[in-house]
């Protein structure tokens, strides 16, 4: 019977332990509680012929797309950030795209992996969240939103930035979060927007479209300060907007847990 681990149990697990239960199909849900203090990452695997354009795209859009590892074609092992993870099995849930459309959302993509796929491992804000929590910053997470912020394009690739959104009960909390996340550029760095969500094209704050968390996300109160961070789901938007022939990604919120501590990767 899957998914019967309590948040505290997930918190205390080591990354290899957590990835093992994921691999066995014993955890198929969000990774928000997994492995306190360790980095988490997005996956996007693309045909080799798109690898250069994607790497350039990420280089010039580093807030949503901080690349932590890139594999050789066909190789599902990101060895720069994990000892032994298999990208085909060690994330709780995936998406498979054909011509920019989602065709499957399986919990294992071993059979979907191809010899020409280059995998990009991209930092996730659920990495820096440990640092915010360690500092006792108060906030609540409002999920992920597709914004109207256009990416700087690269060759055939274009798209809009997806952002994670957090609301803070005071300026002090918001400023502290900006300071802390600035050190964590491997996990999206500082916010890309603070204040009115409409200014970046988010019309219905509180109703996330890109990642709907398993917790409630009521819209901000007037006293709350709202901030948006680049989010790795942006890569999935690029797959869809650019109609890339084939791609595999994680399912939003269902991340790869790294063997690297977030602090170990601060300001690298």
Residue numbers 71-100 binding a copy of itself by CB under 8 A: 80
Task: Select the residue interacting with a copy of itself from 10, 35, 65, 67 (CB under 8 A).
Answer: 67
Q: Which two tokens stand for residue 60?
A: 């010039």
Angle at 10 between CA 64 and CA 218, to 5 degrees: 55
- Which of the ranges 48-56, 132-140, 205-213, 235-243 carries the binding residues for a copy of itself, by CB under 8 A? 48-56
Q: Which residues fall within 8 angstroms of residue 245, CB to CB, at 6 or more apart?
A: 47, 98, 99
Q: Tell me the HSE value of 4 on the side-chain side, using a 13 A CA sphere.
A: 2
Neighbours of 86 (CB within 10 A): 16
Q: Which of 21, 45 has the CB closer to a copy of itself?
A: 45
- State how far the Cα of 83 lies from the Cα of 40, in Å rounded to an integer: 14
- Which of the ranges 62-70, 105-113, 206-214, 230-238 carries the binding residues for a copy of itself, by CB under 8 A? 62-70
**Minimum gap (Å) between residue 58 Cβ and a copy of itself:** 9
Helix (H, G, I), strand (E, B) or coil at 150: strand
What residues form DSSP beta bridges with 123? 41
| By CB under 8 A, residue 109 contacts a copy of itself | no
Task: Answer whether 238's CB lies under 8 Å from 159's CB.
Answer: yes
**Minimum gap (Å) between residue 200 Cβ and a copy of itself:** 20
- Which of the ranges 55-63, 191-199, 201-209, 242-250 carries the binding residues for a copy of itself, by CB under 8 A? 55-63
**Minimum gap (Å) between residue 204 Cβ and a copy of itself:** 31
- State how far the Cα of 48 lies from the Cα of 112, in Å rounded to an integer: 15
Q: Which two tokens stand for residue 176?
A: 């502290």
Helix (H, G, I), strand (E, B) or coil at 152: coil
| By CB under 8 A, residue 215 contacts a copy of itself | no
Q: Which of 34, 192 has the CB closer to a copy of itself?
A: 192
**Minimum gap (Å) between residue 195 Cβ and a copy of itself:** 21
Task: Select the residue interacting with a copy of itself from 20, 37, 47, 70 (CB under 8 A).
Answer: 70
Cβ-count burial of 237 within 10 angstroms (0-12 exposed, 13-18 middle, 19+ buried)?
buried
Q: Which two tokens stand for residue 239?
A: 């797959």
Task: Select the residue interacting with a copy of itself from 28, 107, 182, 217 (CB under 8 A).
Answer: 182
Task: Select the residue interacting with a copy of itself from 47, 62, 106, 153 (CB under 8 A).
Answer: 62
Task: Answer whether 169's CB lies under 8 Å from 223's CB.
Answer: yes
Task: Select the residue interacting with a copy of itself from 23, 37, 55, 217 (CB under 8 A).
Answer: 55
Helix (H, G, I), strand (E, B) or coil at 126: helix
Task: Select the residue interacting with a copy of itself from 9, 24, 52, 83 (CB under 8 A).
Answer: 52
- Which of the ranges 5-13, 52-60, 95-103, 228-236 carries the binding residues for a copy of itself, by CB under 8 A? 52-60
Interacting residue ranges for a copy of itself, rule: CB under 8 A: 51-52, 55-56, 59-60, 62, 67, 70, 80, 182, 267-268
């Amino acid at each position: 019977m899957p998914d019967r681990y309590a948040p505290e149990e997930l918190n205390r697990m080591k990354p290899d332990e957590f990835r093992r239960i994921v691999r066995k199909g014993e955890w198929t849900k969000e990774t928000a509680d997994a492995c306190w203090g360790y980095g988490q990452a997005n996956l996007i695997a693309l045909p080799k012929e798109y690898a250069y354009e994607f790497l350039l795209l990420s280089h010039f859009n580093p807030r949503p797309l901080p690349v932590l590892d890139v594999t050789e074609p066909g190789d599902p092992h990101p060895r720069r950030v994990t000892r032994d993870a298999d990208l085909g099995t060690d994330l709780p849930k995936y998406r498979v795209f054909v011509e920019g459309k989602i065709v499957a959302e399986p919990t294992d993509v071993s059979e979907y992996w191809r010899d020409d796929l280059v995998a990009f491992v991209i930092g996730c804000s659920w990495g820096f969240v440990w640092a915010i929590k360690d500092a006792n910053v108060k906030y609540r997470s409002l999920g992920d939103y597709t914004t109207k912020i256009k990416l700087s394009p690269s060759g055939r690739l274009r798209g809009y930035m997806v952002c994670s959104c957090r609301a803070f009960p005071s300026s002090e909390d918001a400023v502290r979060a900006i300071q802390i996340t600035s050190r964590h550029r491997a996990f999206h760095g500082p916010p890309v927007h603070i204040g009115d969500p409409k200014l970046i094209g988010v019309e219905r704050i509180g109703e996330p479209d890109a990642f709907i968390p398993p917790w409630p996300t009521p819209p901000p109160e007037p006293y709350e300060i709202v901030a948006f961070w680049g989010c790795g789901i942006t890569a999935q938007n690029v797959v869809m907007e650019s109609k890339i022939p084939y791609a595999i990604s994680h399912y939003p919120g269902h991340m790869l847990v790294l063997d690297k501590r977030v602090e170990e990767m601060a300001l690298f």
